[in-house]
Amino acid sequence: MTHRPDKKTLLRLQFLARVIHKECRHLMTTDQRLFNHQFDVERAAQLDLNPALSEQVEAFVGRFSRLQDTIADKLLPLFLVALGEKTGAVIDNLDKAERLGWLISVDEWMSMRQIRNQMVHEYVEDLALLAGALQSAHLFVETMADTANKLLSELEKRGWLENSG
């Protein structure tokens, strides 16, 4: 395909690529620090008494959520537009990404989204739910990073990143 995005779209894609690269790096660092031990209900119960642990959880949840949003809500639709594709609802864009081989599974991505919602909205009341959601999110970090790297590689293959010409 010889389609090339306009300059404004190209600059936005390049910006989002830089952001995603940083977000991946920060999420991986926080993930390694937070999950150096199993995150279970007992550990979740320490959050009120351990500000450092609480801040690590907040950083993990924020970084996990932000990377997921940046990929699915910002980069993916813009990338599809740059390719001359029609975009739609997030689920439709994810379906296209799966068909293009950029995403392992729409269902898996939607599971990550549901886990994110559990971490963000329900953890204050239910420590078991928080611990389970955090453990599940931890298991998805590598999948999300792989998806980000596939998208960034696709941009690079097309010569749409700064160092690609």
Q: Give pLDDT, residue 55.
A: 95
Find the CATH number of the domain harbouring 76: 1.20.120
Answer yes or no: is 1 within a domain.
no
Residue 78's domain spans which residues?
7-159
DSSP string of the chain, one letter each residue? ------HHHHHHHHHHHHHHHHHHHHHHHHHHHHTTS---HHHHTTTTT-HHHHHHHHHHHHHHHHHHHIIIIIIHHHHHHHTT----SHHHHHHHHHHTTS-S-HHHHHHHHHHHHHHHHTTTT-HHHHHHHHHHHHHHHHHHHHHHHHHHHHHHHTT-SGGG-
How far is the C-alpha of 71 from the C-alpha of 152, rounded, in Å? 10
Q: Give pLDDT, residue 164.
A: 47
pLDDT value at 77 more than 70: yes
pLDDT digits (tens, 9 = 90+) for 4-38: 899 999 999 999 999 999 999 999 999 999 999 99
Answer yes or no: is 27 within a domain.
yes
Answer yes or no: is 136 within a domain.
yes
pLDDT value at 89 more than 90: yes
Answer yes or no: is 14 within a domain.
yes
Number of structural domains found in the chain:
1
Answer yes or no: is 132 within a domain.
yes
